[in-house]
Amino acid sequence: MTESDFPRRQRRKEARPAELAAAALSLFIEKGFAATRLDEVAARAGVSKGTLYLYFDSKEALFRAVIEEGLVPLFEEMEAKLESLKDDPERLLKEILLDWWTHVGATELGGISKLIISEARNFPEVAAYHNEAVIQRWMSLLGKVIETGVEQGVFRALDVETLRQLVFFPLLMLSVWKHSIAGCAAACAAAANPISPTYFDTYFDMIFRGLLVAPPELPA
């Protein structure tokens, strides 16, 4: 082994937690949390089970890593956007909702919501962590965006808790659909592509006609 091999080995070692988290995410979505075994995660990541235990001592620890690797950086970006676009709350709300769909809902990360819905009662500690690290942070962000719009007189002064649920839940359900019923494509062709080409245009049109103080006029 030459001296130049050491930086490469070090980089590989530093990358392993992220690789293991990615393998765990794929298996959690494919098989569920309960059915996924640590040796399967290690095999999917191309390492031994002993190597996996150098970084993670349980599936719960792997789940935390999935959240920290996949979602925390996105939340940080969105929170920065909250500051940079605070003077345009309509654009801000639209962008963070599209960011969530593009980087979470439409990806493997979107399968976490379906996973929690189906297995929360069997793994309450995992569900509690997800609620604290993901749901509360995301809904708090949405609430701040809506409050900003209300304060600026752009959004109607309605109940913020209700508004953030009405705004987000259609996207959440669309993601759950994508990671569950849409998987029956072979037997149910209509479920193969649950997203209409005009879904987001219609979604935002309905949201802003109800939310904006001065909604756009309907076409003649």
Give start and end residues of each alpha helix (H) in 120-190.
Answer: 124-130, 136-151, 160-178
Rounded CA separation 93/42 (Å): 39
* Percentage of the residues of the chain whose pLDDT score is greater than 90: 80
- Where does the pLDDT of residue 2 fall: very low under 50, low under 70, confident under 90, or very high at 90 and above? very low
What is the structure's pLDDT at 219? 64
What is the structure's pLDDT at 1? 46
Rounded CA separation 59/57 (Å): 7
Q: Which of 207, 137, 198 lies closest to 168 in space, CA to CA?
A: 207
Look at residue 6 and tell me whether its pLDDT is greater than 50: no
* Percentage of the residues of the chain whose pLDDT score is greater than 70: 86
Kindly report the pTM of this predicted structure: 0.85
**Mean of the pLDDT values across residues 199-216?**
92
pLDDT per position as a tens digit, 20-47: 999 999 999 999 999 999 999 999 999 9
3-state SS assignment for residue 1 = coil
The torsion of the CA quartet 117, 98, 17, 4, rounded to 10 degrees, works out to: 170
**Mean of the pLDDT values across residues 61-75?**
94
pLDDT per position as a tens digit, 86-137: 999 999 999 999 999 999 999 999 999 999 999 999 999 999 999 999 999 9
